[in-house]
Amino acid sequence: MTAFLGNILGGLLKFIYDMVSMIGTEPANFSFYAMAIIITTVIFKLILLPVSLHQSKSSKKMNEIQPKMKEIQTKYKNDPQTAQAKMAELYKEHKYNPASGCLVLLIQLPIILAFFKVMGNPTTFAFKDPAVYEAMNKTFFWIKNLNNPDPYLWGLPLLAAATTYLQSVTMTSANTDPQAQATQRMMNMFLPIMIFMAARGFAAGLALYWVISNIFSIIQQIISNKSLGKIKEEN
């Protein structure tokens, strides 16, 4: 599945590169390849936008009903059948599907993995002629070749970690219970560190994809949070 999707996304990257390379003279420090990665990432995120918005709404709904779920769990802790029935009533009343979050993840995951395949193996999925790919300019400001890891820790690895942290923060709700908040805080610290360490060994093109993807998600989440907040106030 990921190979099939990789060919599709690789074809999109190649198409965008061909279109961008027709605009004129290539800037010395901002290659057409870097532009193609950025544009393809934005298009990729736009394709997933309906799924991401559904996930945001589902998470918001989950946080809203979580206090009532805790009440049911506490009140019927010795009666699992009644607790299950009350949970089902609560889900129906608030039109919440507990499986929706998993479904969204199952839809997104193969596409994300496929995009990682494309960025990690561009000559397999996008640029079929290795000689042509090797001859391409792959600069991105301070990075001479996006095929190689960023030579500076303060560059894309740090940006990847920082944007991962900001994305996690924007997705954190104040309505979650204390235990969930503690877990979220730990993840907010651990995940950026993990991404920073991984990005040091990534091809810089992958790290660039990750940074642009995170920035898009942060903006999307901020807009979504404001929109969902307004809807809640109107109701």
89: left (phi over 0), alpha (psi -120 to 50) or beta: alpha
Query: Encoding tokens for residue 48?
Result: 């997933």
**What are the Cα distances from residue 160, in Å, to 39, 91, 174?**
18, 37, 25
Residue 37 and residue 12 in contact, taking contact as beta carbons nearer than 8 Å: no
What confidence score (pLDDT) does residue 229 get?
58
In this prediction, residue 172 carries a pLDDT of 66
Query: What are the residues facing 140 on neighbouring strands?
Result: 30, 143
pLDDT at 3: 84
Letter string b/e over residues 182-212, b meaning 16 or more CB atoms within 10 A of that residue's CB: eebeeebeeebeebbeebeebbbbbbbbbbb
Nearest to 62 by CA among 101, 104, 109, 108: 101
Evaluate if pTM is beyond 0.85: no
Provide the residue ranges of all domains of the chain, joining segments of one domain with +. Answer: 2-234
Instruction: Decide: 217 and 160 in contact? Cβ < 8 Å.
Output: no
According to the model, what pLDDT value does residue 228 have?
59
The DSSP letter of residue 126 is T
91 beta partners: none
Kindly give, in sequence order, each residue whose CB lies less than 8 Å from that of residue 207, ignoring residues fewer than 6 positions away: 149, 150, 156, 157, 159, 160, 199
Instruction: Pinpoint the alpha helices (H) of 21-155.
Output: 32-47, 49-75, 80-93, 100-120, 122-125, 130-135
| pLDDT at residue number 137 | 95
What is d(CA 83, CA 85) in angstroms, rounded to the nearest whole number? 5
Per-residue pLDDT of the chain (235 residues; tens, 9 = 90+): 778 888 999 999 999 999 999 988 999 899 999 999 999 999 988 988 887 777 777 777 777 788 888 888 888 888 888 888 888 888 888 777 776 666 666 777 887 788 888 888 889 999 988 898 999 999 999 999 999 999 998 999 999 999 999 988 887 655 555 666 777 788 888 999 999 999 999 899 999 999 999 999 999 888 887 775 554 555 5
Instruction: Note the pLDDT of residue 185.
Output: 80
**What pLDDT is attached to residue 125?**
92
The conformational region for residue 95 under phi > 0 = left, psi -120 to 50 = alpha, else beta, is left
